[in-house]
Structure 1
């Protein structure tokens, strides 16, 4: 098993950070969208706790992932047919902006969730170990505004992640390069 990135593929550590973030984002989004459907009481409380914990883990993983990228840079982009096209630079710029947007949203969505928790006047449980009291008095109007922003950012994150996944599939199915395969665990070099 290759732990570090190579010129041709991502290592196991980068893959783990990537796919764990994917799973946590999907889990948090599903619970955010459908958590109110859970029965009131302990089930709904557990759903909110898991939602919040997943968001906190996304922030931690994103920071860890960015630090890991500094220590172990990503492999260079695969050569595609775009390299021959006049607008190849625009496509490359679009890919870089999409990745930047993903990293921004991976932090912004949970941060908005934390602000929402505090705006409701509720404390924030950090993995069930520490409880941070809300620095604000409950403000329903502010909480409702923050909730809308949190949801909008979360939907934006899912949409951008979907675009990211679609681009990887286009690379795999249309261009037949290794862009997708090199991020898949267990694939050959």
Structure 2
């Protein structure tokens, strides 16, 4: 696929790194809830979430600055759905970690970034608000994973059913045929 029809290397790198971090943070959350990992898993989950948050903000900024490849021709309704799905992905990529951080902070807890340094809570402890924010975080995270799954399924559908080369634009290294 010609370079002008592909996303730039920074967009590609951020896309796949954020996807990997989201999957890892989601997996770490299962250790927090189910396993004996306790605080270790929570630190890992929170650290990965902070990276998702920061890199997602960077991705949104870069999206506004980077040149875009020409749009893939598609039916207007499909184009609107794709746009809505992308907006929903970006919103949840920022909202899920932000809600998680707010939930921790309203519990009066700080957050450690990979055991290197800690961000103490700037907020007063408020149990009811912390529970609400924790639930909102879980809902946003589950929504994010569901949206990411739909996004991947749509890319595969475009590539192998519609054969419009959509997936090739985002796969590192060239053609995805």
Superposition TM-score, scaled by structure 2 size: 0.89
Aligned partners of 1:134 and 1:70: how far apart in 2? 32
Are 1:69 and 2:63 an aligned pair? yes
* Structure 1 equivalent of residue 21 of structure 2: 24
On the 8 A contact 1:77/1:179 being kept in 2, the answer is: no
On the 8 A contact 2:93/2:144 being kept in 1, the answer is: yes
Deviations 1:153-183 (A, max 9, x none): 1111111111111110110111112110121
Alignment gaps of 5+ in structure 1 = 83-87
Superposition TM-score, scaled by structure 1 size: 0.84
> Cα gap change, 1:188/1:172 in structure 2, threshold over 3 Å: closer, same or farther?
closer
The total of aligned residue pairs comes to: 175
On the 8 A contact 1:121/1:138 being kept in 2, the answer is: yes
Deviations 1:100-153 (A, max 9, x none): 111111100000001110121111234544433323343333222211111011
* Structure 2 equivalent of residue 140 of structure 1: 127
Question: Residue 106 of structure 2: which of 99, 104, 119 is its match?
Answer: 119
Are 1:92 and 2:79 an aligned pair? yes
State which structure, 1 or 2, has the greater radius of gyration over its C-alpha atoms. Answer: 1
Aligned partners of 2:30 and 2:67: how far apart in 1? 35
RMSD: 2.0
Q: SS of the residue aligned with 1:7?
A: helix
Q: How does 1:1-189 map to 2 (within 5 A)?
A: 6-39=3-36, 43-79=37-73, 82=74, 88-188=75-175
Aligned partners of 1:72 and 1:141: how far apart in 2? 42
On the 8 A contact 2:44/2:114 being kept in 1, the answer is: no
Q: SS of the residue aligned with 1:20?
A: helix
Alignment gaps of 5+ in structure 2 = none
